[in-house]
Amino acid sequence: MTKVQHSAQDFASNQTVRWCPGCGDYAVLKSLQKVLAQTGIPREQIVVVSGIGCAGRMPYYLSTYGIHGLHGRAVAIATGLKRTRPELSVWVVTGDGDSLSIGANHLLHGLRRNIDINILCLNNRVYGLTKGQYSPTSVPGQVTPTSPAGVQDQPVDPIRFALTAGASFVARGLDVDAPRLESLLLAAQQHRGAAFIEIWQNCPVFNDGAFEAVRDKQSREQHLRWLADSDFDPTQASIIPAMAMAESVSPEQPIPFGLFRQVTMATAEIKLKTPPTLRDILTMGSTWHV
């Protein structure tokens, strides 16, 4: 592919951005525009696929191809697209509700198949678009309209979900920590296989302050542990050290961010030179007339 020179501005679309003022999605959009420009991939070779939710609006704001799909189905759509058009750079932008509730099965299988796509899961621990119900990542005790006495369920940890699904690239970033987030986005693009990045994203309307300790610039370095600066090795074959690292999130310890896992694994791709037509498939094996 011939690389092209783009600026971040070239990736801004002509659409009015309709997120609430102060939403963490703005910061993610900005970082994504910057990184897409850095990759040198022509805009017409990039497709951003989303499901439903506030994060699902991302494709409108990028001057690439985009698909605003059905709730939870972004990974399924991206899987079909990448398998039939492997030359494209395919990105999924999803949220915690979209990808870890209704879409959890697609996420699981997209990761284990190691489809060569980049999945950004904007985790604000709440359903924002539908006005603040608790989501699969909401924390115990979180009061919302659907959990008036506080959430009682154990939350899904997106990092451990991705690790147990067998993902070959698993990372955590933070909406407002642009330099580190951008380094992860770039690494995801360069990784061959499914790259999963959980992005902690503040929803100032329905779950404000969920990530305050690390979002606040004054206290960030005290509460955040950037894995690349530690002796943690994300390239280990076993997922156990990465699982233990993901589990170490607690108020007493710095929260791990960065790359939990990056290993080389075969990616699912169509290897036949001449794939069968739909008619071939429908008539293969035993068929009969009634």
Give the binding site for ligand SF4 (CB under 6 A).
Answer: 19-20, 23, 25, 54, 124, 128-129, 203-206
Name the binder of 25 from Mg ion, ligand SF4, none, CB < 5-8 A by kind. ligand SF4
CA distance 98 to 103: 6
- Name the one range near Mg ion by CB under 5 A: 91-99, 243-251, 257-265, 282-290: 91-99
The one-character DSSP state at 118 is E
With binding defined as CB under 5 A, does residue 124 bind Mg ion?
yes
Tell whether residue 50 is a contact of Mg ion (CB under 5 A): no
What Cα–Cα distance (Å) separates residue 85 from each residue in 78, 89, 92? 10, 9, 15
- Pick one of ligand SF4, Mg ion, none as the site partner of residue 116 (Cβ within 5 to 8 A by kind): none
DSSP 3-state assignment of 255?
Answer: strand
Nearer to Mg ion, 202 or 262 (CB): 202
Q: Binder to Mg ion among 95, 103, 234, 256 (CB under 5 A)?
A: 95
Place of tokens 């009969």: 288
Sign of CA dihedral 212, 239, 32, 18: negative
Phi, psi for 181 (deg, rounded to 5): -60, -45
For position 25 contacting Mg ion by CB under 5 A, the verdict is no
Phi, psi (deg, nearest 5) at residue 195: -110, 125
With CB cut-offs between 5 and 8 Å by kind, which of ligand SF4, Mg ion, none does residue 96 bind?
A: Mg ion
Which of the listed partners (ligand SF4, Mg ion, none) does 243 bind, with a CB threshold of 5 to 8 Å by partner kind? none
> 80 Cβ partners below 8 Å, 6+ apart?
none
Q: Which does 157 bind (CB under 5 to 8 A by kind): Mg ion, ligand SF4, none?
A: none
- Nearest CA among 39, 59, 56, 55 for reference residue 47: 59
Kindly tell me which of 99 and 114 has the beta carbon lying closer to Mg ion: 99
**Total residues at the site for Mg ion (CB under 5 A)?**
4
Query: What does the binding site for Mg ion look like in residue numbers (CB under 5 A)?
Result: 95-97, 124
